Structures are given as structure tokens and as C-alpha cells.
């Protein structure tokens, strides 16, 4: 146990004295990992090594560090792929409603980088989801059973031309 700092002594000189005395007693000899780099430091020139290590250790992706506006923009760009994997119209509507709610919340109180995001039209997303499902079901039923799954290629649904206003809103 270390003794208390004397009243008239500076902190820096007192700490230096403690380290010097411990070195003289040999308390720093034969420590595990002596002469080796600190564990988990990774690239010595990467100033964010500790952050990357923390995210990896906690199992969190880098998305948790993104500002809300960029997360929303990314979610809007991934919307067609995300919705395509869903199995029911109710699930699609629920996801779009949640996304629109997050967008409206951000638009009311924007923070972070200003990125153009706008709510999506649920009816348009559901209609695109339905047409994609119809075309994939029709394509799967028309194929012979002998065809392997490796030879299958997804077909893009035929999209009706939307007005310039709808296209502008969809771009965000």
C-alpha cells in the first residue's frame, strides 16, 4: 500500500518518487508481457484502434456510430432489397410505417449532416413488392423441375412509369 502524499510535495514529483522506489525494489521486473506491445492495439498508426476493438468485442457494427440522417438514407437505399425478403404485406406495411416514423422524427428535429430524406409512399412500396412476388411466383411455376437452382436468375418486375413528382419523392 502506498503512503499518502506529503502536504508540501507536488503530485508529479511524488509520483516520480514512488515509481523510482518501486523500480529500485524490483517490483517492475518479470512482469507478464514485458517488452511486448499492448494487446489489441492492432495497427500502431491507426488512431481509432481502441474504437474498432471495442466494437468488435461488443459485437456491434459501425452503424451504431453513424448519424441518424445517414442511417435513414442507407435504409431508404436498401428498402427494395429489405422488402423483397419479407413474406407478408402486413410485414411490409409495418416496416415502411416504422421507417416513415423515423424519417418524420428526424425531419422535425434534424441533427447531424443534412441529407435529403423524405417519407416513402407505402402504397408504392407494397405495389412493387406485390408485382415482384407475382413475377417471381410466375417465373418459378413456368420453369421445368429439372432446372437447377444455380441456373436461376432473378427477374426484375415490370414497373409502370410514375409521374415526375412520384419519382422525385422516391429519390428522397
pTM check: above 0.75: no
Write the pLDDT tens digit of every residue in 143-172: 655 455 444 544 545 555 666 666 666 775
The pLDDT of residue 3 is 72
pLDDT at residue 140 greater than cutoff 50: yes
Angle at Cα 81 formed by Cα 73 and Cα 90, nearest 5°?
95
pLDDT at residue 5 greater than cutoff 80: no
Answer for the pair 72, 103: CB distance below 8 angstroms, yes or no. Answer: yes
Answer for the pair 72, 106: CB distance below 8 angstroms, yes or no. Answer: yes
The pLDDT of residue 33 is 79
Angle at Cα 54 formed by Cα 50 and Cα 60, nearest 5°?
140
Lowest-confidence pick of 28-37, 92-101, 104-113: 28-37
Amino acid at each position: 500500500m502506498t503512503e499518502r502524499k506529503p502536504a508540501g510535495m507536488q503530485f508529479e514529483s511524488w509520483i516520480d518518487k514512488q515509481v523510482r522506489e518501486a523500480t529500485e525494489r524490483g517490483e517492475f521486473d518479470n512482469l507478464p508481457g514485458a517488452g511486448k506491445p499492448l494487446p489489441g492495439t492492432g495497427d500502431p498508426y491507426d488512431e481509432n484502434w481502441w474504437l474498432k476493438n471495442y466494437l468488435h468485442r461488443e459485437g456491434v457494427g459501425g452503424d451504431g456510430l453513424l448519424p441518424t440522417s445517414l442511417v435513414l438514407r442507407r435504409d431508404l437505399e436498401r428498402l427494395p432489397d429489405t422488402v423483397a425478403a419479407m413474406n407478408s404485406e402486413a410485414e411490409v406495411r409495418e416496416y415502411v410505417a416504422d421507417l416513415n416514423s423515423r424519417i418524420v422524427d428526424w425531419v422535425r428535429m434534424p441533427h447531424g449532416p443534412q441529407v435529403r430524406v423524405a417519407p416513402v409512399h407505402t402504397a408504392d412500396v407494397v405495389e412493387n413488392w406485390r408485382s415482384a412476388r407475382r413475377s417471381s411466383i410466375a417465373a418459378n411455376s413456368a420453369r421445368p423441375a429439372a432446372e437447377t437452382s444455380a441456373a436461376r436468375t432473378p427477374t426484375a418486375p415490370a414497373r409502370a412509369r410514375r409521374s415526375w413528382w412520384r419519382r422525385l419523392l422516391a429519390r428522397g
